[in-house]
Amino acid sequence: MTAARGLVLVVEDEPAIADVQRRYLVREGFGVHVEADGAAGLQAARRMRPVAIVLDIGLPTMDGIAFCRALRDADDWTPVLLVTARGEEPDRILGLELGADDYLAKPFSPRELVARVKTVLRRSAGPPGAAVDTLGRLSLDRRTRTVRVDGAPVELTATEFNLLAHLLRHPGRVHTRDQLLAQVWGYPGYRDTRMVDVFVSQLRAKLGDASPIRTVRGVGYSAREPGT
């Protein structure tokens, strides 16, 4: 049954871990559906339309990377929280590049899992008091959460959108990676700043030469008019 906060799909093949995730999410008001392999999880995602997906990388039948690729290839931008083992950094980075919104490394606290799901959902909802930002050939509408280049829509994940929106809200300002993790992801003091670089790289790939994101070496990133 879908609870007040919406349905979360958990795709995890370790029953004990899946049960802990389910219990803590239910306690916070979410409905939870659990699948133990990737292929069944993908079918459930298409059938149930969850508000978020907690996705383990190491799954039978279809692993989390293939799951995420298939989801995004079908233009399904449901927020995905990727669960990885400690030694799976290349897979974790690939998952983010394929459109996962965040990741959590095992072992983790169930409370942190719930907090991450809530944060991903807040990011996907976007900030209130929306407005339209334009910079060069790029326009971003916070009301409709759409991005266009020369009038053509560009598909972004929730996290990509929020990172771009944050940079455009403060054009010319230089943001450190730590600041972006705190202000966009909501993770002050988080150690893995490489996640910021992955999302910046993804945005640049999708926006092409219309990307306003500039690297300030040794500091971080800023948004400026392309060509400046």
Same domain, 15 and 116: yes
Same domain, 91 and 139: no
**Model confidence pLDDT, tens digit, residues 148-207:** 999 999 999 888 998 999 899 888 889 999 888 888 887 766 667 888 999 999 999 999
Helix (H) or strand (E) holding 97: helix 89-97
Write the DSSP symbol of residue 176. Answer: E
pLDDT computed for residue 94 by the predictor = 83
Q: Domain holding 154: CATH number?
A: 1.10.10.10
Provide the mean pLDDT of the chain: 87
Binned at pLDDT 50, 70 and 90, residue 1 comes out as very low
Task: Name the least confident of 107-116, 125-134, 189-198.
Answer: 125-134
Q: What domain range includes position 136?
A: 132-223
Binned at pLDDT 50, 70 and 90, residue 88 comes out as low
Task: Name the least confident of 82-96, 110-124, 162-176, 199-213.
Answer: 82-96
**Model confidence pLDDT, tens digit, residues 13-59:** 999 999 999 999 999 989 899 999 999 999 999 998 898 999 999 89
Binned at pLDDT 50, 70 and 90, residue 126 comes out as low
Residue 111 clears pLDDT 60, i.e. is over it: yes
> Which of 32, 86, 94 minimizes the C-alpha distance to 63?
94
Same domain, 22 and 112: yes
Please check whether residue 145 lies inside any domain of the structure: yes
Q: Domain holding 17: CATH number?
A: 3.40.50.2300
pLDDT computed for residue 179 by the predictor = 86
DSSP calls for 100-141? --EEEESS--HHHHHHHHHHHHHHHH--SS--EEEETTEEEE
Same domain, 51 and 90: yes
Binned at pLDDT 50, 70 and 90, residue 87 comes out as low
**Model confidence pLDDT, tens digit, residues 54-69:** 999 989 999 999 999 9
> Which of 197, 201, 181, 198 minimizes the C-alpha distance to 189?
181
pLDDT computed for residue 66 by the predictor = 93
pLDDT computed for residue 227 by the predictor = 65
Same domain, 84 and 146: no
Q: Which of 125, 145, 175 is the last residue of a domain?
A: 125
Please check whether residue 2 lies inside any domain of the structure: no
